[in-house]
């Protein structure tokens, strides 16, 4: 006996194929800040990773930390959650295929735990990253965005 799929399974398959073919971007991504890296490899010892967070608990000054963000072309809003106890500032950058960057500042992070959002437009074949200056005893907790 030949099995004939019902209408629901046919529609579900068509929706899945359509979403994959056209790059449907409905789901936001969240990642721990630990997916990034110290901008200067010589300062990696300044950071401790705990539960997806990174904390500058090894250096007395502010240290630069970069978080690459996989994305498609178009406008993107990125939210960074942080705990500012010793200074925290971040920029969000889009890059061209040749590596030229265009950056915007996140609004200031007040003392304590807060979330700030910035928006950039990523060109075709471009990329996106966030870079933060993380002060002593300050943490980057999470990064949320739609790719």
Residue predicted with more confidence, 3 or 63: 63
Lowest-pLDDT range, 30-44, 59-73, 100-114, 118-132?
30-44
Which overall architecture, per CATH, does domain 27-145 show?
Sandwich (2.60)
- Once rounded to an integer, what is the mean pLDDT over residues 122-143? 95
Written as six digits, the tokens of 59 are 């250096």
What is the pTM for the complete model shown?
A: 0.77
Q: Please, are residues 56 and 86 in contact by the beta-carbon 8 Å criterion?
A: yes
Distance CA 128, CA 143 (A): 13
Residue predicted with more confidence, 84 or 23: 84
Element (H, E) at 144: strand 139-145
15-65 pLDDT per residue, tens: 333 333 334 444 456 666 767 889 999 999 999 988 889 999 989 999 999
Look at residues 112, 113, 136 and name the one whose alpha carbon lies nearest to residue 43: 136
Distance CA 132, CA 88 (A): 7
């Amino acid at each position: 006996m030949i099995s004939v799929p019902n209408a629901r399974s046919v529609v579900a398959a068509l929706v899945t194929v359509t979403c994959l073919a056209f790059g449907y971007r409905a789901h936001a991504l969240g990642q721990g800040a630990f997916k990034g890296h110290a901008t200067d490899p010589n300062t990696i010892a300044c950071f401790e990773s705990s539960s997806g967070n990174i904390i500058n608990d090894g250096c007395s000054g502010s240290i630069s930390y970069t978080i690459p963000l996989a994305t498609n072309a178009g406008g993107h809003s990125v939210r960074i959650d942080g705990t500012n106890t010793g200074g925290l500032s971040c920029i969000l950058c889009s890059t061209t295929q040749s590596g030229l960057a265009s950056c915007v500042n996140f609004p200031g992070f007040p003392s304590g735990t807060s979330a700030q959002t910035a928006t950039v437009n990523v060109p075709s074949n471009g990329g996106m990253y966030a870079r933060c200056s993380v002060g002593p005893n300050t943490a980057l907790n999470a990064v949320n965005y739609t790719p």
